[in-house]
Each structure stands twice: as structure tokens, then as C-alpha cells.
Structure 1
Amino acid sequence: MLPLPVDLQWNVDGPTSDLGRVVYEWLDGASAQLLPAARKAMSPLSARVSRSLGAPGSTFGVLAVTRGGVDVPPKTRERTCSDTGFAWLKKELVCLPDMVTLQIGTFDERGHRARRHLVLSARTHPASPGWVRLALLGSDESLDGSDSSLDVQRAWLDVLHGHASTWDPGFGHISYSYGLGATALEDCLPPGDYPPQQRDPEHTVNDCRRYLRGYSWLTIVPKELVARLGGIDELRATSAFARVEQLASGALWLKATERFEDYRGEAVHGVFDALAPVLRPGLPVPTPRRDDQPPHLLVFEDAASR
């Protein structure tokens, strides 16, 4: 089986000054927590990114800021993941860019950037002003039921929990990745029946405090939707979740099963039943999946019909 992409994502809104801090703390904090040795090794490096080939097997770390406009082609600038690189990033975030990414990986035998060990991102959307969508792109390559698999999942959960507890998320999940930040539910709404406003993260992020964008192994429900679900005690009583926790903001942290690889079948149905009252309306349609495409772990019903 080919490894499949995993999307760790959370959405948060607020003033630009706060969102700049959110983005900085996400890239700096998550990378330092997950790859502390690499960050320490790159700390004293120059901010300038070398255009020459890298030493095979050595580590690279790159911060990239992309800006553009309606009539202006996107332009990306890069710096290393060093102390001076992060100082540059902090200044760049005074005015939020379209996208910021951090990549840490190794050079291949030809000296090109190859295997990515960590990919973090933060994106803003014109149709969702005042919001930022933060993500970590991972892989299910090691999620094989082993102890090391559980360690990877715990690391993902710890990173997301720390940031979601500090801020006030409007949505969050750990799910398979379906490209461009869509949830499985959004990805399965037929374009012929549903406009972009109902299935494109460019738009749906703006509505996530009104409709839950989707549901998965780990789902963060914003505080605004908790009462419509009957509250924390009602959700615990459903037995659909291995862990139900209220975060400092009032949002709920809902983990369906102990392991990501166990989130299948009845576990998916249980989460759908519990969260149906707040899910975005729409009838998802199953589509054939290739081996290199992740499955849609959904109940193919319109939550509004419940």
C-alpha cells in the first residue's frame, strides 16, 4: 500500500495582530516540538537560502512567504529555519501574507530537496477575512498499529492540543488529506449540486462557527456549536468518543478511537450520529478511489435529514 497523506488542521479567527502571533507560534512551536534536533542544528545558520545543491543526506529547513493580489502574480520569498530566519518571519507577519510554509527535510543523492520530514502551513483566504487556516501535512506510512505508530499519533495530538488550548479554534481535525484543505465531507459534495461556498475551504472556513465543516478521528467543535449538541455530558453519553474534553475557549476536543487506524465502520457512524445536528447540510456522494487516494471515511447521508 502506498502511504496516504494525513491532514492535521485547525482554523482560527481574530485581529491581524493576533493572527500573526498564531502563525508564528504555530510554525516555530510545532517545528521545535516535533523536530527539536533539526531546529537546534539550524538555529545559528544565516537567513539566506543557498541556491547551490545541498550535501546528500544533510538537513534543510526553509521558511517561505507568498504574497499576491488580484492583478499581481504570487511571489514567494524564502529564508532558512534559523534564528535570523524566524526574526525575518516575525516582521513579515505584521501584514499577513496569503500563505506561509515551513519545510524540514533532507537532500537526496543529487543534492536536491527531497524527503520532507515536516510540512507546516498557514493560509488566509479573501472569501474568509479575519481567518487563518493552519495545517500540518503528515503521512499514514507509519500508522501500522505498532508502538511507534502510537508515538507518532500522540505527537500530532500533543501539538494540536497545545495550540488549540491556547487560542479559540473555529474548527480542527486530524483526517486524511483531500487536497487544498477540504474535509472529507466537503470533498464529497458534488460540484454540480453545491456551489464553492458550501464545499471550498476558501469559503467554508468563514462559516465554521455556524456549521461544523466535517468530522473525523479527531474533531474540534467550536464553542458556538456545543449547546446544539446537548453539551459535553450528552456527547460523553453517546459513547462515540474515546475522549471528550472541553478546551479553555469552550471548544470541544473529540477523539473517536484510541488509534487513527481504528477509525472505520461503526466508529465513523457513531461520530456522524453524535455531530449531525451541527454538520454542514449536504448529501455527500461516494466516488471511486485509487490506491494512491485516501478513503472518504463518511456516512453518505445528509446531516440535515436527521
Structure 2
Amino acid sequence: MSLRAIATFDVSTGGGVGHGLATWFGAALAGPLRGRLEQEQQGTAFFSASTRATERSPRQEYQPLATGWEAMRQELLHEPETAHVLYMREHLGKPLVHVRSSTIRVRRPNAEAQLLFGADCGSLDDVAFCAGAVEFLVAALDTVNPAFAWLGADAPASEETNLDWVLGRRVRDSVREARKLLRGYSWTTVCPEELSVRLGGPGALAATGAFHRVVPLSAGGCDPAGDRDRGGVHRRGRARCLRGPAPRPAARCPAVRPGPPGAALLPRGRVPLPRVTDRKREGARHADATARAVFSG
């Protein structure tokens, strides 16, 4: 099983979208990829790094990354259409870590950033590995106040969240509403400041006892984690996390199309999640309940 971190940046992102992208890639090099640039210079690690300003622009490569990182960082500040950093143990080998960003599915001026850990990077039951992943997320987003972010496991490397899958929702629509409605929910989910305030703030979320840890971000928003490691979050733990901000779930929920394998569905109470409005979807039942909160499994 692999771990994936994603973040959504929009016009309300602190410092701008470009700042969010540069901080994301920089935190990856300073955290999960710490020391790898020195290994690249020694020939024991290999990177493939590139950006593309627009769809029609030539790809700009940064080789070696140890000396090209500052040039790449400056390009990230200009919000390129795509950017990639792949870390490998051998030349043209299987990537162990992939850091990427794109504006294509989320539509400019928005951007989506991801960090994909390969299965060889660590176990989801490894507390130290999972703690390092959370530390990366906090470091990458502390000065940013993103529209949305999470850590999840075995989800496809795409811009869709679990809620997008289940509700049949277009990515650009969920991104546009991200500061009003949670785009998704996972083991560790970052709420933007706007939603954090509606839920009572980091202190109120921590006081529910539903979360292992709630980290306030200095630029606004918070990062609640359901447990010390991803493997410790089972169905009962997911339900506990939802009860904290939403103690009164709806009695009935409309049917929705299946999500990715392992997705678990829980009713929505006061959590700011989107409603199911398309009742013509195959298999949908007529109901007056609000939509479900979806936890990646």
C-alpha cells in the first residue's frame, strides 16, 4: 500500500498559488527527500525534475536537481501548468517518491499538488513513517492556508477526491467550492481557515476527543489526524472522527455511485459537505437527507 498527499491551491491561498507550489516542492526536498540531493551528487540517487509553463511550452528540465533547484523554485513561483520531481535509486529506475503539480484538471488560476510515496518508502502501520508524512504536510502548508489537503492511501493519482468519486462531481466544481464545502475526508485532512472557523477552530475540534492530534496552521486552517498512523484508522475510528464535528448524522441518505475500492460512507450531520442534487444518477433513491462523508480506506 502507498501513501499519497494532495493539496489544492486557489486565489485565496496565502502568498498566492505560486508560493503554495514552491513551498510544497521545497518541503518535500527538506522532508521526505532530505539528504537525497547530496546522494544525487554522489551518484547514489537520481532525480528527474521538470516544469512546463503552458500546454504549448517546451518542457524545462533541471539536471542535476542539486544545482537546478533554485531555478525550478523560481519557475514554480510563476505557476507553471505542470511540474514533476521523481526520486529513484537507480538511473531510469522505478520512482520511490513522485512530487507533482498541475493546473489542468482544477483549471487556472487553481493548482493541485501531490506527493506520492512508493510502497518501499514505509509501512502504513509504521508510526514514525506516518508521523513524518504528517510533518511534511504541516511544513508544506503552514504559511499557505490551502483550499484543501489530505493524506490518504491507495487512492488513484488523480485530482478526484473520494467525495468527487462518490458524488460524480466534477473536479473544477469541488475546487471552486472548497472553502465552503470539504472536498473529501481521509486519515489526515486539512481544513482551510474558512471551514475551521465554522467548525469552532482547532481548539474546539481537539476538545471533541475525536482526533489523535489537531495542528493549527499559522496562516489559518488546521490539520486534524484521526490516529498516529494510517493503519490505525479503521471504520469505528472514522465514525468517531465524524461524530466530533457532526454528532447528529442524518437518518436517511440518498444512494450514490460506488467510489474507489475500500471507500467507507458515513452520514453527514453539521460537517460542511456537499449535497447530492443529481437524483437521476443510476441507482439513486429519492431522499431528503444530506450527502455522506466519505473516508478513504
Q: Give the TM interval when normalised to the shorter protein.
A: 0.7 to 0.9
Task: Tell me, yes or no, if structure 1 residue 158 matches structure 2 residue 125.
Answer: no
2:204, 2:76 → 1: CA distance? Answer: 41
Letter in 1 for 2:221: A
Task: Tell me, yes or no, if structure 1 residue 173 matches structure 2 residue 150.
Answer: yes
Which residue does 2:99 correspond to in 1?
120
Which residue does 2:85 correspond to in 1?
102
Which residue does 1:247 correspond to in 2?
217
The answer as to whether partners of 1:13 and 1:19 remain within 8 angstroms in 2 is yes
**RMSD over aligned Cα, in angstroms?**
3.2
Per the alignment, in what secondary structure is the counterpart of residue 36 of structure 1? coil
Per the alignment, in what secondary structure is the counterpart of residue 116 of structure 1? coil
Letter in 2 for 1:178: P
Which residue does 1:50 correspond to in 2?
none
1:140, 1:297 → 2: CA distance? Answer: 23
Task: Tell me, yes or no, if structure 1 residue 143 matches structure 2 residue 123.
Answer: yes
Taking structure 2 as the reference length, the TM-score comes to 0.76
Task: Tell me, yes or no, if structure 1 residue 286 matches structure 2 residue 258.
Answer: yes
1:182, 1:152 → 2: CA distance? Answer: 25
Letter in 2 for 1:5: S
Task: Tell me, yes or no, if structure 1 residue 205 matches structure 2 residue 183.
Answer: no
**Which of 219, 223, 227 is 2:193 aligned to?**
223
Letter in 2 for 1:228: R
Per-residue CA shift, 1:239-281, capped at 9, x if unaligned? Answer: 221112322123021011122101111111122344559xxx9
Q: Which runs of 5+ in 2 are unaligned?
A: 248-252, 276-288, 291-297
Which residue does 1:42 correspond to in 2?
40
2:185, 2:260 → 1: CA distance? Answer: 20
Which residue does 2:279 correspond to in 1?
none
1:243, 1:288 → 2: CA distance? Answer: 27
Which residue does 1:130 correspond to in 2?
109
Taking structure 1 as the reference length, the TM-score comes to 0.74
Q: Which runs of 5+ in 1 are unaligned?
A: 45-54, 290-294
2:110, 2:256 → 1: CA distance? Answer: 26
Shift of 1:78: 2.4
Structure having the higher strand fraction is 1
The answer as to whether partners of 2:131 and 2:229 remain within 8 angstroms in 1 is no
Gap change, CA 1:174 and 1:144, over 3 Å in 2:
closer
Per the alignment, in what secondary structure is the counterpart of residue 135 of structure 1? strand
Shift of 1:126: 7.0
1:127, 1:144 → 2: CA distance? Answer: 29
Letter in 1 for 2:123: L
Gap change, CA 1:144 and 1:84, over 3 Å in 2:
closer
Which piece of structure 1 moves more, 155-164 or 9-18?
A: 9-18
Per-residue CA shift, 1:48-70, capped at 9, x if unaligned? Answer: xxxxxxx9xx421011113444x
Per-residue CA shift, 1:185-239, capped at 9, x if unaligned? Answer: 22222x4xx5x2xxx2x44223211111111111111111123323444423432
Q: How many residues align?
A: 265
Letter in 1 for 2:225: K
1:282, 1:64 → 2: CA distance? Answer: 44
1:8, 1:89 → 2: CA distance? Answer: 21
Letter in 2 for 1:162: A
The answer as to whether partners of 1:143 and 1:260 remain within 8 angstroms in 2 is no
